[in-house]
Amino acid sequence: MVAKILKRIPSGVSSLDAIVGGGFPSGSLVLLSGEEGSGNVEFAYTSATTFAAIKKSRLAPGLREGVGLPEQICYISFSRSRSDIIDEIARSFSSEFRELFEENVNFKDLSSEYFANLQVPPEWTHKMGATKKTRKGEIRTSVVDALNKNAKNSVVILHSLNDLARLYGDDQKWLISFLLGLQRMAKIWDGLIYAIFTPGALDSKIETEIKSCFDGILKFEWMQAGTVKRQRLMYFEKFRGLLPHIEERLASFNIEITNRAGLVISRVAMLQRLR
């Protein structure tokens, strides 16, 4: 029997790829978990923009053997509009960073449909572009349809898992079933799927169940680095097929958010991983 060739896809953060052997295992469903401002959203922005820069030949791919680039980057947003995210990127990063993201990322904006299902004043939802009531089931269909059309051999970013949990809080069984199915389909699509998540908003048992659906979890935290300064820290909470290849003392990383390059690994934090 011919053995299947296992490939990797770059994470989209070059300074991390250099440490983890060129990228993440293809077919992985990855949770980007962290509090606001800790770096998980910036990780997603950086990944998308890096692939855009490679696509436009503004950045050399520098691929290792067994590492392949995605066909496209697809960004699916629920509560935040495309213009809102572009404006945030424009305020936080360079004009070139914003331009690459805006012009080369396949953006699926479901925000108007999303707010039509929340208890938001009708006159507000109308101004958001929601011209008719959209049922929850239609949003489910839109998400699945977007994944079916764009996830194969590609990188997909879901922004965010909290939004889905907020919308389907009365049907958490569906949310877990969706994530389990998504984990399985990720292997068939052979790409990479990121889901942004802010912990602490859901019941701890539900959060534990959610985490169990993911192949990898990147945890982003703020760490006190002195009497005043705080340092962002990223570490692997788990990652199937990857952690055994990373030295145990290199499981935690200090990160910085820069204007031109986005999120970068500034230095390795020599900390023993929690056992």
CATH of the domain at 190: 3.40.50.300
Of 89, 5, 109, nearest to 46 (Cα)? 89
Model's pTM, two decimal places? 0.92
Is there a domain that residue 67 lies in? yes
Sheet holding 106-109, edge to edge: 106-109, 73-77, 155-159, 192-197, 28-34, 216-224, 230-239, 252-258, 262-269
Is there a domain that residue 271 lies in? no
Is there a domain that residue 247 lies in? no
What is the per-residue pLDDT across 81-129, written as a single tens digit (0 to 9) for each? 999 999 999 999 999 999 999 999 999 999 988 888 887 787 776 677 6
CA angle 47/49/51 to nearest 5° reads 70
What is the per-residue pLDDT across 218-228, written as a single tens digit (0 to 9) for each? 999 998 766 66
- Residue 11 in tokens: 């994470």
Is there a domain that residue 249 lies in? no
β-strand 252-258 against 230-239: which pairing, if any?
A: antiparallel
Is there a domain that residue 124 lies in? yes
Q: Which domain holds residue 70?
A: 8-218
Is there a domain that residue 266 lies in? no
Q: How far apart are CA 46 and CA 86, in angstroms?
A: 13
The number of distinct structural domains making up the chain is 1
